[in-house]
Amino acid sequence: MDVETKIGILRGFAEEILTEDELKLILESNSHPVAYDGFEPSGIAPVHFGLLRAKNVKKMLSVGIKVTLYLADYFAFVNNKLDGDLEKIRTAGEYFVEVWKACGIDPKKVEIIWSKELMDSLDYWDRFMRIGKVTTIERVKRAITVMGRKEGESVSAAQLFYPIMQATDIFQMDIDICQLGIDQRRANVLAREAADKYKWKKPAAVHHPLILGLQGIPAGKDMHDKESLIEYKMSKSNPKSAIYMHDSYAEIKEKVNSAYCPEKVIEGNPILNYVDLLILDDPEARIEIERSPKFGGTLEIDGYKELVNVYSSGKLHPLDLKKFVAEKLEEKIKPVREHFETDKHAQELYGTVKADKITR
């Protein structure tokens, strides 16, 4: 597979690439560069954790990229997830691994690293201090959005370490490509700036878009202001915003039917967002939406762009779109539910994590 084809596949799921020229140089010089995505272990997995991450990982593996999935246990501890109980956090991390397996990620084809493995090293903290030395406290405060906090929000001294720790991870794991959500952009930029100042290997960043919460984005919001729109993403700590990997078909239908999906409205519409990012593996794939004969019968659509045109014109009713989305989500979630129903170890982990109180 040539480099242009590889970049095309990565561009297909990216909202932003920093920068495409740098990514091209990485792929030209290394047939198996290392990419990573990181997660704070806590709570029950929503669909963006399971379906979107699995989809992106499979695409990276398909172009020869080595993938590291980073279980950031100490980051969850610093961020007070699960009351900062490291034992509960690590159990949640083991549960995350089972979700990945159930979503079709072969643990033998990826590397799974815990933050404790990196931090048990003086070299890690040397890098941490060096990055902190060339980063102002004002930049750090602006970057706390990467941990799900609002800029200007009161945080602990340990939480101020978080963005620098995240940047340090990149160099400690020798990462070539940071493949994280657009909400993690500020930490990746800190790392890229540190690389320029110290002449370290500079990582490219492939930022994927965020999955919207069920509440969508209200009309009138600036859709180009990505930082202010982060509050509308799907969050596992907000049950009203999320569909989970363990939801029953009845729960999926109920949540989808109650989701924000105004007729003819495209921007801020989570139901269309789910079709684009969760349901379609190929944006040009043929879509068949079943409707009652009295409403025109089955609607055949050639890809996501045509779906947007059809919906914005009013030729597709929100209820028919929601029915399609609920059915497709059920197809993707059902194997995960079944894994946790039949695998005893996975079942025990899920039961433990489900019983834990989620803290922010």
Q: How far is CA 123 from CA 126, 169, 171, in A?
A: 5, 11, 10
The pLDDT of residue 291: 87
Q: Are residues 48 and 176 in the same domain?
A: yes
Any idea what the Cα angle at residue 175 is, between residues 228 and 21, rounded to 5°?
A: 70
Q: State whether residue 260 is helix, strand or coil.
A: coil
Last residue of a domain, one of 173, 207, 241: 207
Q: State whether residue 35 is helix, strand or coil.
A: strand
CA of residue 281 relative to chain centroid, distance: 16
Count up the domains in the chain and report the number: 2
Q: Tell me, what CATH number does 87's domain have?
A: 3.40.50.620
- Give domain status of residue 115, yes or no: yes
pLDDT more than 90, % of the chain? 76
Would you say residue 96 has pLDDT above 80? yes
**Structural domain harbouring 313:** 226-355
Average pLDDT over residues 55-70: 95
Q: Are residues 155 and 128 in the same domain?
A: yes
217 residue type, one letter: I
The helices-and-strands tally (H runs, E runs) of the chain is 17, 8
Average pLDDT over residues 214-238: 72
- Which letter does DSSP use for residue 69 in this model? E
Q: Are residues 182 and 263 in the same domain?
A: no
The pLDDT of residue 223: 63
Q: Are residues 31 and 113 in the same domain?
A: yes
Q: Please write the tens of the pLDDT for every residue from 149-170.
A: 777 788 889 899 999 999 999 9
Would you say residue 360 has pLDDT above 60? no
- Give domain status of residue 22, yes or no: yes
Q: How confident is the model at residue 314 (pLDDT cuts 50, 70, 90)?
A: very high
Average pLDDT over residues 334-356: 93
For 66, other C-beta atoms within 10 Å of its C-beta total 17
Q: Are residues 137 and 87 in the same domain?
A: yes
Q: Respond yes or no on whether the N-terminal peptide bond of residue 5 is cis (omega within 30° of 0).
A: no
Task: State how beta strands 177-178 and 34-39 pair.
Answer: parallel
Q: Tell me, what CATH number does 251's domain have?
A: 1.10.240.10
The pLDDT of residue 229: 65
39 residue type, one letter: F
Judge residue 286's burial from the number of C-beta atoms within 10 Å of its C-beta, 0-12 exposed, 13-18 middle, 19 or more buried.
exposed
Last residue of a domain, one of 163, 179, 207: 207
